[in-house]
Amino acid sequence: MIILGIESSCDETAAALLEVKGDKFKVVKNVVWSQTQIHQKYGGVVPEVAARQHVEAIMPVIQEAMGKNSKPDLLAVTMGPGLITSLSVGVQTAKTLSYAWDVPLIGVNHLEGHLWSYLLNRNQQEAKNKQITNLPAVGLIVSGGHTELILVKGIGKYKLIGQTLDDAVGEAFDKVAKMLELGYPGGPIVAHFAAKGNSSAIKFPRPMLTSANFDFSFSGLKTAVKYHIRDMAPTGSLSQAHVNDVCASFQQAVIEVLVAKTIRAAEKYKVKSVILGGGVSANEELTQNLKLKANNSKLNCFVPEKWLTGDNAAMIALAGYFNKQKSSKNNWKILDAEANLRLV
């Protein structure tokens, strides 16, 4: 089976071809056109600009992904959550192709794509059924728009057990980078300077670390960083060494909370594995800390390779395959984008 995945939930226009043979997956082509440089001057994604860029890029990206293939056996498109203007471009394009090609179409939850993206790791080369049997699991989805803990009992069998009460972790990274005037997007920039700093230099708070639930809050931590910068540099100037320490200390505070709550949830629900997904899973300190703590608790730890951490269409094709029984040749008539679509 050949599946064409289409992703346009935010500021990446992506298309991918996924081949499924027996219990193996193979990413035939994965194309991602990023708008990061376009939005850098605004310090964040501008929805109207993103949508226009998707309109211009989506067909060339799909054509590149398709190559010499005439049509796929299944179409999978991100239907939400995300920016409604961006989502609509991908959904309408997929509906048109589904009608023109007479190919079944299925709408995919973007978060479900992130959750299972590790199954496409090139360095694992394991049968999907073998990996999926390491369930139940606790999934940590971390990105610019989402911070959620999901109890995973199987494909489509999810329970939300924790989420951010304010800022998503990726959003917090962006805002700290903006305070320090480091640029956008904040995640990789903060991580870059954090690698040069002392993570113990500044005692930032660990919000909700010991709370009885599995929810998160990063607004207070963000505010603590703001006040620290104000107090240390009333004129608006910090040494590079101090900037490095702020980044390292902030990042460490975030990681400690994320990892501690994930492991605690895993122990409470007596799961076999923890799964990491989303753009922030590209943070090497986070992945290393989670793997270490999971190993100490005798848990499997599944983390996507870096090329799968950001928004991509390969993970959408995969999630579409998992949910292919929901597809219908008439689906193009009823499928709509849902900006606030929930996984559970």
Contact 9, 78 (CB under 8 A): yes
Q: According to the model, what pLDDT value does residue 236 have?
A: 65
Pick left, alpha or beta for residue 82 (phi over 0 → left; psi -120 to 50 → alpha; otherwise beta). left
Whether the per-residue pLDDT at 126 is higher than 50: the answer is: no
How much is the average pLDDT of 143-148?
91
- Cis peptide leading into residue 60 (ω within 30°): no
How much is the average pLDDT of 173-199?
94
Q: According to the model, what pLDDT value does residue 127 have?
A: 41
Choose the weakest-confidence range: 133-137, 208-212, 293-297, 300-304.
Answer: 133-137
Using one digit for the tens of pLDDT, what is the confidence trace for 233-253? 776 678 999 999 999 999 999
Within 100-240, strands assigned E span 105-109, 137-142, 147-154, 157-163
Q: What length is written for the chain?
A: 344
Strand order in the sheet with 74-80: 24-34, 12-21, 2-7, 74-80, 105-109
User: Are 2-123+308-334 and 134-303 in the same CATH fold?
Assistant: yes
Using one digit for the tens of pLDDT, what is the confidence trace for 284-324? 999 999 999 999 999 999 999 999 999 999 999 999 999 98
How much is the average pLDDT of 21-35?
90
Q: Quick one: fold of 2-123+308-334?
A: Nucleotidyltransferase; domain 5 (3.30.420)
Closest CA to 11 of 218, 180, 174, 221: 174
Q: According to the model, what pLDDT value does residue 235 have?
A: 66
Choose the weakest-confidence range: 172-181, 223-232, 320-329.
Answer: 320-329
Residue 123 burial class via C-beta count within 10 angstroms: exposed 0-12, middle 13-18, buried 19 and up: exposed
Please tell me which of 32-46, 89-103, 115-129 the model is most confident about, judged by mean pLDDT: 89-103
How much is the average pLDDT of 86-108?
96
The domain ranges of the chain are 2-123+308-334, 134-303
Q: According to the model, what pLDDT value does residue 8 have?
A: 96
Using one digit for the tens of pLDDT, what is the confidence trace for 47-61? 889 899 999 999 999
| Average pLDDT across the chain, whole number | 92
CA angle 159/330/32 to nearest 5° reads 65
Q: Quick one: fold of 134-303?
A: Nucleotidyltransferase; domain 5 (3.30.420)
- The larger pLDDT score, comparing residue 152 to residue 40, is at 152
Q: According to the model, what pLDDT value does residue 74 have?
A: 96
Please tell me the pTM assigned to this model.
Answer: 0.93
